[in-house]
Each structure stands twice: as C-alpha cells, then as structure tokens.
Amino acid sequence: MIPEISVSELALKLKSNEDFVLLDVREAEELKAAKIVDKRLLVHPLSRLAREGAASLPEKLKKKDETIIVLCHHGNRSAQVTHWLMKQGWSNVINVAGGIDEYAREVDPSVGLY
C-alpha cells in the first residue's frame, strides 16, 4: 500500500515549518499552467526520472530517510514515483491523493487548473 495524504493535509503541512521536500514530478509545460509556490518545492519530472533513474535526483533527495511528499496532476504518476522510491529504499515517501488538480479545486484555486 502506498502512503497518501489528502490535499487538505498537504495544505496544513505547507502552512507549517515542517521539514520535507514537496517533489513535483510533472513536466515543464504542466508547471506553466499550475504550480504551488513553496520553498520546499523541488521539481523533477517523471520523464527525467524514468530516463536517468535515482542518480538524477537532486542532492537533497539522496538521503533515503528524507521526508518526500510527491505531487503530480491527479495523483497517478506521483503514486508510481512514491512506490518506486519505496522499492529503491526510501523510507518516508508520501503521495498526494488527487494531485494538484484536487488541491486547486479544494484548497487554493490560485495555483491554477488545466
């Protein structure tokens, strides 16, 4: 089973001073349409991860105990990445159920829809 949080739980985490990485695995074109602005946001498209594997991850994500919250458009790609990272040995990875689309609809419409 893949660990998940709801978009309302993500909103609470974003308001906190909690230390985590919000890993957005969407592609560049998608980021133009909708984006959460937060200092903990790190963009690493799934296409690059699929091509280059774990070696392509930014240094901050190399620690396998880092808290990583994975986000995509609807939650499908981020669920795949969450599962994959767990299989690679990361211990604290969480998928955002519903993705940025649900976040924009239920929490903050200013992030945009597409």
Residue 42 sits in a domain whose CATH number is 3.40.250.10
- Domain count of the fold of the chain: 1
Q: Half-sphere exposure of residue 13, counting CA atoms within 13 Å on the CB side?
A: 21
Q: What is the mean pLDDT of residues 104-113?
A: 97
> What pLDDT was estimated at residue 11?
98
Q: Is the pTM of this model over 0.75?
A: yes
Quote the mean pLDDT of the chain. 96
Residues 37-67: pLDDT tens digits?
A: 999 999 999 999 999 999 999 998 989 999 9
Q: Are 73 and 102 in contact (CB under 8 A)?
A: no
Q: Are 5 and 69 in contact (CB under 8 A)?
A: yes
Burial class (CB in 10 A: 0-12, 13-18, 19+), 62: exposed
The domain in which residue 38 lies consists of 4-111
pLDDT tier at 99, thresholds 50, 70, 90: very high
pLDDT tier at 74, thresholds 50, 70, 90: very high
